[in-house]
Amino acid sequence: MKITLKQNSNIQNVDFNNLKFGAIFSDHMLICKYKNGRWVEAEIMPYQPLPMYPGTQALHYGQSVFEGMKAFKTDDGKVLTFRAEDNFKRLNTSAKRLCIPEIPKEIFMEGLHEILRLDAVWVKAGDNFSLYVRPFIFASGQCIKATISDEYTFMIICSPATTYYQGEMHVKIEQEYTRAAKGGTGSIKAAGNYAASFYPTKLAREQGFSQIIWTDAKNHEFLEEAGTMNIWIRIDDALITPNLDDTILGGYTRDSIVQLAKDMDMKVEERAVSVSELHQAHQQGRLKEAFGTGTAVSILFIGSITLGTNKMILSKQEDSFAKRLKDRLVAIQHGKYEDKHGWTTEVLSSLTPQ
Ligand code: COI
């Protein structure tokens, strides 16, 4: 792999205590092109603008997929990836659905590890810190016919992160707009899925909500996701999250929480949850907690859920399941609790400067 190092790092200009999510990038990026039917050798270079023609296909038809994953630093200076193999697989599942050629595992993994080795100082130690890693592939051929491209670019860029949202979320149940429909692209990380969510989310923000709870496209009857996160509710002592189908993105934080909840002897149900079940549970005082899970946010508490004009307030729980699960997840990610499921992989074994 060709590597061109950045001469002067920007890191000393970054205020790590006031990071805006996704707005600052680490020193290096990985780039790999697909041409003439094959992926050519990957290259790492200083983070920089891309030369691009206006006819670049991804700009017109959105043939573009991405992943979101994180690297963490342990107290003794090791850099750990979390569920990288799963993110790699999901990137290719997304790619396949949009007719993008799959990225070979060695390009993804070697590129990921090399960039994390080079930018290890950007992974800060501490429970609130991580380096958000964004692998993505876009159609980089030039043609404005609505057709499958024959050239693609795979990249990895990294952004230091603390918390995604400040505080807890106040959400509304969306009963007009739809995120995903059966047979569509809701279960993959297609760039356009996110673009399509911006307008309804903007409307919700103007009404004072922080996010939307998406419901099914047919009758707006079943809960699907919370903004860009998987949704969870706790009724009595049962943790419930919608079962995965082709309208729900199967998050790896969701999957990890399902497993951790079982490890911690909590009752977990992956099944359809209707708006009326949620409403009824709240009226009966049985709706104890609600939260979202996602790579960017980890676990984010929901403080209220509004259905039409009815605001369901969720009061703080002494024994919050979400808090216990978040603490366990964060401990595993930072190497402080035994990783029984083999989710973390060490990138560096030597001490790296802070
Ligand atoms: C993630 O949690 O990684 C996501 O994909 C959400 C993204 C829009 C920041």
Q: Is 228 in the pocket of ligand 1 (CB under 6 A)?
A: yes
Residue 189 alpha carbon to ligand 1 centre in Å: 9
- Nearest ligand 1 atom to the CA of 228 is 6
Q: In the prediction, which pLDDT does 188 show?
A: 98
| Count of structural domains within the chain | 2
β partners of residue 183: none
Residue that finishes a domain, picked among 162, 186, 210: 162
Predicted confidence at residue 106, as pLDDT, reads 96
Pair (175, 321) in one structural domain: yes
Last residue of a domain, one of 162, 186, 218: 162
Task: Please check whether residues 198 and 113 belong to one and the same domain.
Answer: no
Nearest alpha carbon, ligand 1 atom 8: 228
To test ligand 1's pocket by mutation, which of 228, 231, 248 has the most ligand atoms within 8 angstroms of CB?
A: 228
344 domain-assigned: no
Distance CA 218, CA 182 (A): 9
Tell whether 354 is covered by a domain. no
Cβ of residue 194 lying under 6 Å from some atom of ligand 1: yes
Together in a domain, 58 and 181? no
Instruction: Record the pTM.
Output: 0.96
* CATH code of the domain containing 255: 3.20.10.10
Could you tell me if residue 210 is inside a domain? yes
Same domain, 180 and 325: yes
The answer on 158 and 181 residing in a single domain is no
227 lines ligand 1 (CB under 6 A): no
Find the 163 Cα to ligand 1 centroid distance in Å.
12
Q: Evaluate whether residue 253 is within a structural domain.
A: yes
Q: What is the CATH number of the domain that holds 85?
A: 3.30.470.10
Is the residue at 339 inside a domain? no
CA–centroid distance, residue 164 to ligand 1 (Å): 9
Assigned domain for 123 exists: yes
* Same-domain check for residues 150 and 182: no
- What's residue 348's pLDDT? 66
255, part of any domain:
yes
Please give the number of the atom of ligand 1 that sits closest to the Cα of 22: 9
Residues in the chain, pLDDT under 70: 348-354
Same domain, 52 and 123: yes
**Co-location of 231 and 294 in the same domain:** yes
Domain end among 162, 183, 215: 162
Q: What is the pLDDT of residues 143-185, one digit of tens each?
A: 999 999 999 999 999 999 997 777 899 999 999 999 999 999 9
Q: Which structural domain, as residue segments, surrounds residue 324?
A: 169-333
Residue nearest to atom 5 of ligand 1 (CA): 68
Ligand 1: does its nearest atom lie under 6 Å from the Cβ of 294? yes
From the CA of 66, give the closest atom in ligand 1: 5
**Residues 243, 205: one domain?**
yes
Ligand 1 center from residue 204 Cα (angstroms): 19
Q: Verify whether ligand 1 is closer than 6 Å to residue 87 (CB atom).
A: no
Model pLDDT for residues 267-300, shown as the tens digit of each residue: 999 999 999 999 999 999 999 999 999 998 999 9
Check if 195 has its Cβ closer than 6 Å to any atom of ligand 1. no
194 and 143 in one domain?
Answer: no
Mutate to test the pocket of ligand 1, among 295, 297, 300 (most ligand atoms within 8 A of CB): 295
In a domain, residue 338? The reply is no
CB of 141 closer than 6 angstroms to any ligand 1 atom: no
78 in the same domain as 218: no
**Same domain flag for 318 and 288:** yes
Q: Which atom of ligand 1 is nearest to the CA of 297?
A: 2
